[in-house]
Structure 1
Amino acid sequence: MSAVFDPSSYDAQLQAKVARLRELLAPFDAPEPSVYDSPREHYRLRAEFRLWREDGQRLYAMFAPGDKNTPIFFEQFPIASLRINDLMPRLKAAWQGNAALSNKLFQVEFLTTLAGDAMVTLCYHRPLDEHWHAAAEQLAQELDVSIIGRSKGKRVVIGRDYAVEELQVGGRTFRYRQPEGAFTQPNGTVNQKMLSWAFDALGERQDDLLELYCGNGNFTLPLATRVGKVLATEISKTSVNAALHNLADNGVDNVTLVRLSAEELTQALNEVRPFRRLEGVDLKSYNFASVFVDPPRAGMDPDTCELTRRFDNILYISCNPETLAQNIAQLHDTHRIERCALFDQFPYTHHMESGVMLVRR
């Protein structure tokens, strides 16, 4: 954690973030942001710990930024989900009582969901043998989790290599596969609020939507129910495969997903060069009026930002308000902020997630 966990200070910290977002968006005459708070504790659905040897035991440890030598030990982790806190001592007891599980174990990763699913990844500095496999299978049954064993160049899956999430948006339940090792939103409660805000901001439309950086389809599923067709792009193979499963599992059949970066799609739409991965996709058949973007912390590159200018509506979710403001500055002469929001995905840190709906002037 990059700040002290102190629920009594939560409201003051949240108001400081609201003030910061107001300040960044003030040059663009932004309306007052809608604010979506977080649970004060047990909100984080994933956690990663190094294991530190002390007095003959392996203990859950984290480190302050820039300091890899001074461990901070945890028996419980109050910002993590109740399921993670339930699993932590039971998993520790298991490796303490079984050499096949503890031998050269150096890292543990937890992924849980609001739907109650859980996956545990155990990382080792040794090959995983049949003794480990037998012990891990028994442990997976006892804990009611999937277990992934990782060692150099090898991955062993016991159960599933993804966790299952269910989120309620617009009166409908959407079911998601969240693959091991892939990005997922860490704060499920706030993610659900964020999806509902985007669903409402886009509104019900007859035209089509372009989505850049779609990930595992977190936003794609609910937004696809608001428009005619969706063309979605994502560069990560793991995320693309998860998104395709999620679309099929939810019966969403109006989305075409292509594995291209935002920069590559910009080149395709500008007819700079063709892409084999767009074979069979008629870009001219889309009646695009809106674009949805959820870029990495660096924001949109200038060319992608220029691409979004073509659309009447730009729905933008940002994990970095500074780069969001930079992108809005590039678009401000043609688009105005119709609505904005702050989503407190990361309580007790300076990080914030925000959203804006930009419409053509």
Structure 2
Amino acid sequence: MTSAYQQQLAEKVERIQQQFQVFQAPPLQVFPSAEQNFRMRAEFRIWHQEDDLFYAMFERSPDQKQKIVQRIEQFPIAHQSINQLMPILLTEIKNNLHLSKRLFEIHFLCTLHGDMLVSLIYHRQLDADWHSAAATLAQQLNINLIGRCRGEKYVFGEQFVLEQLTVSARDYCYKQYENSFTQPNAVVCQSMLQWAVDAIAGDNQDLLELYCGNGNFTLPLSTQFNKVLATELAKSSVQAAQWNIARNHIENIKVARLSAEEFSQAFRGERQFRRLQEADIALADYQFDTIFVDPPRAGIDADTLALMQQFPKILYISCNPDTLYDNLQQLCKTHKIVQFALFDQFPYTHHVESGVLLEKVTT
């Protein structure tokens, strides 16, 4: 009997194949998810009802006009460690007024190897009694704990977790901060990283990466190139990427704090950026033959697309098939798709993560 997940995955595959057939792409490689316990993050509202409180999520009424509160006892799509902690944590909070008073949300962030970070979000200021109770709770449950209220943040333990992902038999350690972007499905993320490394393996020179985030792809891809220049605008992501590079003892990566648009200007010689000089980066030192992009859902702007078309090889990871489709209409004027993949990061939703490798068409 075909499971609901397998049926939905088959529908995603058919949709992507039909949407992208105009580009004459090679057969689609499909990387499925586990059907349960795949999410490393979970966020819940805390619903107060008389003397009780519980984890809650919302769904729309049939007429779409109201939100209906759904009590959550377990969350099967979340990692086992989150499901194990949920009732234990809630019991401790219920039994302590200092922890439960005006508690609004609870966020969980875990790793494949046991790190756990819990964020408690409040609609009140947090006093000395709360601090004492929170410190005890973090120690008792052996978790990293963050308390947030308007304008304030308190940390017990660390404000990050350390994830370990394995690519080509090598383990990579990643610092993942609370409230920063990380791939929610760690096992499928490993598949994405392995696919990217395998797709680009061969005789390469230097890699340019735009939108590098915390270096998720940067680290394993660096094994396939002489040098890597990665760009990212967010300061917190740049700091995380630099920490991850150092922690994993990788010496051929430099990170520049630039947006994709700013790098395009620097690459064309239209502007000079002090941030490149401060990072000891000279673009003339690189012989780029590959560009890698993992952009936000909005896709890539016209100037950056024009920049990408100058590279012999383009490796593109997309979280939005529609913007990928739009971008490929431009990129396929100069390049052809030689590998095409679907990664089911988000089971039971319509969202799809895709990967394409393009090579420049020679005339």
TM-score per shorter chain, which class? over 0.9
Secondary structure class of the residue paired with 1:64: strand
Distance 1:67 1:80, change over 3 A: farther
Please tell me the root mean square deviation across aligned C-alpha atoms, in Å: 1.3
| Match in the other structure for 2:289 | 289
Q: Distance in 2 between matches of 1:74 and 1:46?
A: 15
Q: 2 CA distance for matches of 1:192 and 1:281? A: 30
CA deviations 1:282-318 (Å, max 9, x no partner) are: 1011000000000000111111111110111100000
Q: Which residue of structure 1 aligns with residue 94 of structure 2?
A: 96
Query: What are the within-5 Å matches in structure 2 for residues 187-202 of structure 1?
Result: 187-202=185-200
Aligned equivalent of 2:339: 339
Query: 1:238 deviation in Å?
Result: 1.4
Letter in 1 for 2:231: T
1:318 aligns with 318
CA distance in 2, matches of 1:257, 1:67: 47
Match of 1:178 in 2: 176
Unaligned runs of 5+ in 2: none
Answer whether contact 1:204 1:227 (CA < 8 A) is retained. Answer: no
Separation in 2, partners of 1:67, 1:59: 24
Match of 1:126 in 2: 124
Give the deviation of 1:67 after TM superposition. Answer: 6.6
Match of 1:263 among 261, 264, 272: 261
Give the conservation status (yes or no) of the 8 Å contact 1:216–1:242. yes
* Paired residue type of 2:85: L
Distance 2:65 2:231 in 1: 37
Partner of 1:56: 51
Q: Report how many aligned residue pairs link the two structures.
A: 355
Q: Does 1:25 align with 2:23?
A: no
Cα 1:343/1:67, change in 2 over 3 Å:
farther
Percent sequence identity is 51
Are 1:34 and 2:29 matched, yes or no? yes
Q: Structure 1 length normalisation: TM-score?
A: 0.96
Q: Determine if the alignment matches structure 1 residue 149 to structure 2 residue 147.
A: yes
Contact 2:124 2:149 in 1 (8 A): yes
Bigger drift between 175-184 and 231-240 goes to: 231-240
Task: Please give the secondary structure, in 1, of the residue aligned with 2:3.
Answer: helix
1:70 deviates by: 2.1
One-letter code aligned to 2:357: M
1:223-248 CA deviation, whole Å, 9 max, x = no partner?
01110111101111111111111000
Q: Is the 8 A contact 1:211 1:233 kept in 2?
A: yes
Q: Are 1:123 and 1:150, in contact at CA under 8 Å, matched by a contact in 2?
A: yes
SS in 2 for 1:351: coil
The question of whether the paired residues in 1 share the 8 Å contact of 2:233 and 2:259 is answered with yes
Structure 1 runs not aligned, ≥5 long: 1-6
